[in-house]
Chains A and B, each alone.
Chain A
Amino acid sequence: MSPRRPRLSGLRSNVWLPPLVAFGLLVLVWQLVATHEPPQTVATVPATLAALGDRPGLFWHDTLVTLQEMAVGLGASFVVAFTLAVVMVHVRVVERAIMPLAVVLNVTPVIAYAQGLVILFGFGIAPRYVVTGIIVFFPFLVNSLIGLRSVDREALDVLRTLDASRWEVLWRLRLPSSLPFLFAAGRICVPLAITGAVVAEFTTTGASAGLGSLIVVASGYGQVAVIYAAILVLAVLGLVLTLGVTLLERRLLSWHPSSS
């Protein structure tokens, strides 16, 4: 929940070399294990890349579906959570009423209610939006609330002596003060949203595409290489999105102490 942010360092070899070596070792171990196991259990590195290269269109299409689920889930959840946090900051009763519900929602395992939501919303894409949205809702809500409250007391006093309206205080003080917390939430929620989308796809296979559905279908046909290729794509997707959040954060939060 801390608004501290990782920094993107320059292209110095002591910065990028250690993770590259570690990553190389991982691939090596994967390849070693894969060559010693029967091919139906673990795909080799070349086989995985070949699966990707064979049908790039398929993976691209499934990636877009998963991405869409994440975008809708994250976007809708953020709008609802932030709006609710704004109301909570101004009306204490709402916080007391809603917060326990949000906690219950947060501690209940997604897998458990995903199945129920599929039955409720049908096998279309709707339950996928809902599952993704629910899994990121709590971090968004809590961070929005902490962020909106993290205003400088004396700056608030200055605005109050000017008789600034609630809206002006929100727009000029609370919202900018909350940005570091919102970005911290973003970095937590992107990976969570991927998990949410994939879990939802696992429980709604057959209906539509998505990288999670692809994994389920491929395992039904014993296409191990396709499973591994889909996992690889999910990893890259998570990495790119997290990087995107960090870059956006660096642009918007150059004033924040953690960016200097």
Chain B
Amino acid sequence: MTSPLLPPERSAIIGEPGRVERGTSSDGLVVSGVGKTFRSRDGATSALADVSFTVPRGRFFTIIGPSGSGKSTLLRIVAGLLEADQGDVVIFGESGRNASANKQVGFVPQSPALLPWRTVLENVRLPLQVNRKASERRDAPSRSPEEILSTMGLGDVLDKRPAQLSGGMQQRVAIARAFAFDPAILLMDEPFSSLDELTRELLRHQLLDLWESDHKTVLFVTHSVTEAVVLSDMIVVMSAQPGRVQALVPVSLPRPRGELVELTDEFHAIERQVRLELRSAWGERSDGGGS
């Protein structure tokens, strides 16, 4: 298992990594004017209203907000699992549905949702086995499932079944499964929320390690402020009922980020800013949530 603690020279402040931003609207994820209302017999719940933001290619965006602020709903709309009432979603120039049809969307749900009858390796291979037509239209993934699993520190458990793994290991398999087919965008819905604090910290840095190797476009949902700041280029703070974008908080901390980044003043300043935005988003009801 690789240590998430980075040597000082790697975590030294080196400024923005040299990523060229091609700022066309078809190059990334564009969410514009998305609204969603759930109607049932006991009335209507307005889950999202006029949500707009753009995640440029190669950027890690995190959505944070109190529960019920429509984070999952938004992610499901982006993933094409749910239809928006208003507005639309464009993923690298395609509609959400077409992006799914072309296997451009990697989805990591809240639970690992592994298939218990498959081994770890077979679970990670699953995305390569379905919808093969889409795979034929694209280049083969640059990394094999085995490589991704060993990057995640799972090289020794390839042939184990999910039930034989800890919760943290299962969640890593779920992340490896989403990376395995090399999608254009990764969507993760509170993937670490059911884990203990130490495992969470380990996993967020492993996710960063994995992400550093190819800088995928990511939309990540969390209710942990620390997690949001450690991971993101940009934090989308949501308010509740209906979910709206309260603020966009940029995180200009240098990358790659080791665990030491959490001890810096810049880190705390951004954390404080996010907490303040959260507080004003949902008034006196809570103290800012998260860890």
**A contact set with B: CB distance below 8 Å:** 152, 154-155, 157-165, 168, 172-173, 176, 255-257, 260
Contacts of A158 in B (CB 8 A): 107, 109, 113, 126-127, 177
Query: From residue 108 to 128 of chain B, which have CB atoms closer than 8 A to chain A?
Result: 109-111, 113-117, 126-127
CA distance A13 to B135 in the complex (A): 57
Please tell me which one of the listed residues B81, B114, B129 contacts residue A161 in the complex, with CB atoms under 8 A apart. Answer: B81
- A255 with B116: CB separation less than 8 A: yes
Task: Report yes or no: B79 in contact with A161, Cβ–Cβ below 8 A.
Answer: yes
CB–CB A173/B81 < 8 A: no
A155 to B174 alpha-carbon distance, docked (Å): 10
Given contacts A154-B109, A157-B81, A255-B161, contact A162 B116 (CB under 8 A): no
Are the C-beta atoms of B109 and A157 separated by less than 8 Å? Answer: yes
Give A57 to B242 CA distance when docked, in angstroms: 78
What is the total of A-B residue contacts with beta carbons within 8 Å? 68
A163 pairs with B177, CB closer than 8 A: no
The chain A residue sitting closest to B162, CB to CB, is A255
Other-chain residue from B101, B109, B110, B115 in contact with A163 (beta carbon distance below 8 A): B101
B113 pairs with A163, CB closer than 8 A: no
In-complex Cβ contact of A256 among B102, B116, B126, B129 (8 A): B116
Given A154-B109, A162-B130, A172-B130, are A255 and B114 also a contact pair (CB < 8 Å)?
A: no
Q: Which residues of B contact A257 (CB under 8 A)?
A: 116, 163
Q: Which residues of B contact A160 (CB under 8 A)?
A: 80-81, 100
Taking a contact as CB atoms under 8 Å apart, the answer to whether A161 and B131 are in contact is no
Q: Most chain-B CB neighbours within 10 Å: which of A161, A164, A165, A176?
A: A161
Q: Contact between B109 and A260 (Cβ–Cβ < 8 Å)?
A: no
Any A CB within 8 A of the CB of B134: yes
Chain B nearest Cβ from A206, distance in angstroms:
49
Residues of B within 8 A of A152 (CB): 111, 113
Partner of A155, one of B80, B102, B114: B114
Docked Cα-Cα span, A155 to B163, in Å, equals 15
Extra contacts, 7 of them, besides A155-B115, A157-B107, A162-B127 (Cβ < 8 A), are A157-B76, A157-B109, A158-B113, A162-B130, A162-B181, A172-B126, A176-B117
Chain B residues closer than 8 Å to A256, beta-carbon distance: 116-117
A-B contact pairs, 21 of them (CB 8 A): A154-B110, A155-B115, A157-B81, A157-B107, A157-B109, A158-B109, A158-B127, A159-B130, A160-B81, A160-B100, A161-B80, A161-B106, A162-B105, A162-B127, A162-B181, A172-B115, A173-B115, A255-B116, A255-B161, A257-B116, A260-B163
